[in-house]
Amino acid sequence: MEWISGNIFIRPNNLENVGDKAVGHKHNFDHTTIIYKGAVHVKATAPDGSVREADFEAPNHFLVRADTEHEITATQPHTVFWCVYSHHTPQGEVSQVYDGWMKAYG
């Protein structure tokens, strides 16, 4: 289930077991990931091919830049994190209202 809350879009994620992952993927715009419970290992590959890896334990957050391939792996059981996005128009402008353009979050 995803939510629209005012000027943001929220995508909750639950990783039940250590080693479960949100497989590598990219988004068209920056977004913040907030870890509420548990811990994750993040592997991020920037558009220039450089790779960064980091670990985060709840409560914490991290920023994923646009077009950065990222994979999030649970390092503790019952990990809960939310990806939070600003609404954007197809022209790339931040919007204060949801306009139904799902590529802003995909």
pLDDT at residue number 106? 87
- Hey, where are the domains in the chain? 3-104
Q: What is the mean pLDDT of residues 80-94?
A: 95
- 32: number of CA atoms within 13 Å, CB side? 10
Q: How far apart are CA 53 and CA 72, in angstroms?
A: 10
- Structure token digits, residue 48: 């220039």
User: How many percent of the chain have pLDDT more than 70?
Assistant: 100
List, for residues 40-71, the tens digit of each pLDDT value: 999 999 999 999 999 999 999 999 999 999 99
> Residue 60 burial by CB count (10 A; 0-12/13-18/19+): exposed, middle or buried?
middle
Helices (H), 1-106: none
**Homologous superfamily of domain range 3-104:** Jelly Rolls (2.60.120.10)
pLDDT tops 90 at residue 85: yes
